[in-house]
Structure 1
Amino acid sequence: MRFVVQRVTHASVTVDGNVIGKIGQGFMVLIGVSDEDTKETADKMVKKLLGLRIFEDENGKTNLDIHTVGGSLLLISQFTLYADCKHGNRPSFIKAGKPDMANEMYEYIIAECREQVETVETGEFGADMKVELLNDGPFTILLDSDQLA
């Protein structure tokens, strides 16, 4: 499982010209799922995401987590995080999770986050989405379940 986490001052996602998710300060998270991922994997990733201390404290140090700053989440499914570009110029996506399973994992992650964060907005699984954000910092982190303890 892979999360691309961007600290944002605001972010939104649009489908068919309609804004379906919008947040202020918080994290815009692109979520990629592989066929090997489980709910246990998702639990570890959500714990790491919500524990990230990348908001500035009163001294300008990145020391605060999303709970402390009252931040929001915008969670967007992104199968292209499993693009394999080793051979040729056209990416292969065979490592991405099958749609039914990936959607189930995406919905599970949303539910887990909603239990812990007041405002959780989402994209639409499988839709052609337009994402706008103002990356604060810029601050972008890649979380990969293969690299978590």
Structure 2
Amino acid sequence: MPPGLRLMQKMSSTRTFARIAPHFIPAMDRTVHRLTRGKVLLSAKMLPGVILTVRGAKSGLPRRTPLACMPEPENDSWLLIGSNFGRPGHPTWTTNLLAHPDAEVNWHATNIPVHARLLSGPERTAAWTAALNFWPPYATYQQRVDREIRLFRLTRR
């Protein structure tokens, strides 16, 4: 593992990171993604990422959220982890996906229609194990909260 990635894993497990990152990283990602016309997602330099566009649960308006993801090329799908950086409460985008599972991701500057499915039972357990192998700080996030972190599998429509 490259030293820079190891350092980022350690930093992302801190409470300071959990306080600052939810505000700073998405704003930075949205700005750079817009300025580069969808060609660059800065946080994807650390972890693969998508821009999720889903209708708001209450408003019905499109909501764009940059998210880290775990690509599943063998299934032509993506796993999204609703960790909220280890903060209490589920992230809003997960509520939006529950209300409107048909969404869109921007993956490598291509918009792809997807269908989201909340994982549960053995399927969730297997996906969680894969997510922890992929990005170990998710375990720290789960330890900080009483809720079960939501996992979604997005497949192409």
TM class, shorter-chain normalised? under 0.3
- Of structures 1 and 2, the one scoring higher in RCO (CA 8 A, sep 6+) is 1
Question: Normalising to structure 1: TM-score of the pair?
Answer: 0.27
TM (norm. structure 2) is 0.27
Structure number with the higher strand fraction is 1
